[in-house]
Amino acid sequence: MHRSSAHEASRLQLNAQDRLRHFLTTEGLSRDHLTEILDTAESFIDPVTGAIVNRPLLAGRTVMNLFFEPSTRTRTTFEVAAKRLGADVLNIDISKSSTSKGETLRDMLWNLEAMTADIFVVRHGDSGAAHFIASQVTPKVAVINAGDGRHAHPTQAMLDMLTIRRHAGAFENLIVAIVGDIRHSRVARSEIHALQTLGAKEIRVIAPRTLQPRDFDQLGVKVFERMEDGLVDVDVAIALRVQNERMESALLPSSDEFYALYGLTRDKLKHAKPDVLVMHPGPINRGVEIESAVADGPQSLILKQVNYGIAVRMAVLSLAVRGQGEQR
């Protein structure tokens, strides 16, 4: 997505009162907007037990999961979040929908709106798809981006921000490193925007030259090719999933070589701070992106991320519905 399109998407996701209307990207949102999402997510977590608390804030509402590409983990988490808020949930099998029979996406959206949908949760392989859908829906429908192409995965970024805030403290004191396929990662892009807005002390990306970002130097991040250099004094290390197709292309020679150079292992983490926290958006490729002893170790927050993902998606769904009501 071009910079002008990203700006338009950011403007589109706010209502006239400058409150969240859709959630399409972390880019362009203010610190207050992101903090409101985090604080709302915290309100769904029991302070004593850490359990997610049910709140019927979406009772009588209908959430439709429109996943144009598969993602069991994200779709399931959104479904759980919506049901904990009391909403009715419909999972639309796009592969069997009328779009595969020649109907346009716009026509499909209008038909789904006629079924009294209140929220579309959209996963699509094309960058900018969620933005397009948000620009086409009626004012009564909110759109949540569950990942679009290489552009953005804002709820994943925000659940990672919640994980960091709860376990590492103030962003202003933190050095965060993101490791792996940075160039093709919508997660990395959304995290970098969120970390910058929330005031992280330093953001680093570590990747082989073929998977380094082409434009991230403009975002003020530090780019490293060697893990031993990039992990020095890091507070939080986030390993990204490497797509299998990258391994089969000229971008990477083999999974074994990637693991040897960029896998998050106990030996490599010795360069980071002793209490470094480890994260991964999942699903994990053990022995490729991360060592099992690290993924399952005491400094790993990977399962916490999954749990916090429910709270963050509850927050985004409830805030979008509130933003809907404010503009009516």
User: Quick one: DSSP state of residue 28?
Assistant: T
Contacts of 193 (CB under 8 A, 6+ apart): 25, 26, 27, 28, 157, 219
List the structure tokens of 127: 């960058």
**pTM of the predicted structure, to 2 decimals:** 0.92
Give the pLDDT score at 328: 46
73-127 pLDDT per residue, tens: 899 999 999 999 999 999 987 755 545 544 577 788 888 888 889 999 999 988 8
Residues 242-255 have pLDDT tens digits of 876 555 565 666 88
pLDDT score at 297: 97
Give the span between the Cα atoms of 104 and 125, in whole angstroms: 16
How far are the Cα atoms of 238, 256, 284 from residue 253, in angstroms, in the given order? 22, 9, 20
User: DSSP of 178-236, one letter per residue?
Assistant: EES--TT-HHHHHHHHHHHHTT-SEEEEE--GGGS-SSGGGGT-EEES-HHHHTTT-SE
Answer for the pair 135, 122: CB distance below 8 angstroms, yes or no: no
**Residue numbers in the chain where pLDDT is lower than 50:** 1-4, 98, 101-102, 328
Q: What angle, rounded to 10 degrees, do the helices at 31-43 and 302-327 form?
A: 110
For residue 1, what pLDDT is reported?
45
Domains of the chain, first to last: 3-152+307-327 (3.40.50.1370), 154-305 (3.40.50.1370)
Amino acid 47 reads P
Region of 246 (left: φ > 0; alpha: ψ -120 to 50; beta: rest) is alpha
Provide the pLDDT for residue 169.
93
